[in-house]
Amino acid sequence: MGQCRSANAEDAQEFSDVERAIETLIKNFHQYSVEGGKETLSPSELRDLVTQQLPHLMPDAQEFSDVERAIETLIKNFHQYSVEGGKETLSPSELRDLVTQQLPHLMPSNCGLEEKIGNLGNCNGSKLEFGSFWELIGEAARGLKLDGPVPGS
């Protein structure tokens, strides 16, 4: 997926809200992943990230952080596309629509979308839960190379 296309300043098209949300999550993760490299967080780094970027998980928090807004964007988009079977699942066609409309730069059609959809979830392809969507987002994030800011962010 990330091998198919990376987000960089040369991309002329506007990135979707979901793509910008993924960029925010990756940037914030990398900002805190210092001790063991960019792919992992130590317990203290995770504590710092949660305390500083996810303060609403802590008592008496006031404003949402960038990471919280990015997660909220992902959840809202999942619910926006989950029409057929309720807000908790996506049909393969709903997931296909979400990915093609909201992740056109991070997961173009030539990156094996149908195979990825087939590999997600264990429900004979009938419905995909949020966890399966999150796996797909994680795959998009792992493959993403941020050479510059995502357009529109």
Measured between alpha carbons, how far is residue 70 from residues 23, 44, 87, 104, 110 in Å? 9, 22, 19, 17, 26
pTM as predicted:
0.57
**C-alpha 55: how far from its chain's center?**
20
Domains of the chain, CATH where assigned = 17-143 (1.10.238.10)
pLDDT digits (tens, 9 = 90+) for 61-87: 567 788 888 888 898 889 899 887 777
**C-alpha 65: how far from its chain's center?**
16
pLDDT digits (tens, 9 = 90+) for 18-29: 889 888 988 888
